[in-house]
Structure 1
Amino acid sequence: MKHTLSILMQNEAGALVRVAGLFAARGYNIDTLTVGPTHDPAVSRLVLSLQCDEAGLGRIMQQTRKLVDVLQVAQPSAALAA
């Protein structure tokens, strides 16, 4: 199943590489990836999509939250459905 994640992270060198590296290390292929600024110049928003099951999604979201530069991980489609 295709899922979309929205990740708020520190706008620092290497932050994107750490997120992408985590997904690669866990065997997930990122289908789409967009990074842009937020109202705070110190914070960037990363939006990505990937194919995985529900259990895998929960695991990768939990692991992503543990990264030093990551401030928030959310699933926008879940928020819209509620």
Structure 2
Amino acid sequence: MKHTLSILLQNEAGALVRVAGLFSARGFNIDSLTVAATQDPAVSQLTLVMHGADEAVDQLIKQARKLVDVIEVSHPAAEALQ
């Protein structure tokens, strides 16, 4: 199933590599990746599209939230269903 995740992270060297590394280590392929500035120059917004089973993506989100530079992870489609 296709999933779109929105991640707020510190605009620090290596932050994007750590997020991408988590996806790679868990065997997920990122279909689309966009990084944009926010109103706070110290924070970036990462939007990515990926495919995976719902349960596996839920686990990945929990792990992403534990990364040092990650501020927030949201999964808008899943949150709309709750």
Whether 1:20 and 2:20 are equivalent positions in the alignment is yes
Task: Give the TM-score normalised by structure 1.
Answer: 0.94
Q: Which runs of 5+ in 2 are unaligned?
A: none
- The residue aligned with 1:75 is 75
Deviation of 1:22 after TM superposition, in Å, equals: 0.5
Cα 1:53/1:33, change in 2 over 3 Å: same
Q: Deviations over 1:2-58 (max 9, x none)?
A: 000000000000000000000000000000000010010000000001100110111
What is the number of residues matched between the two proteins?
82
Task: Measure, in 2, the Cα distance between the counterparts of 1:39 and 1:24.
Answer: 29
Cα RMSD (Å): 1.2
Amino acid of the structure 2 residue aligned with 1:11: N
Task: Give the TM-score normalised by structure 2.
Answer: 0.94
Task: Measure, in 1, the Cα distance between the counterparts of 2:55 and 2:81.
Answer: 19
Task: Measure, in 2, the Cα distance between the counterparts of 1:80 and 1:41.
Answer: 29
Q: Which runs of 5+ in 1 are unaligned?
A: none
Amino acid of the structure 2 residue aligned with 1:73: V
The ranges of structure 1 where at least 4 consecutive aligned residues each deviate by more than 3 angstroms after the TM superposition are: 78-82
- The residue aligned with 2:2 is 2
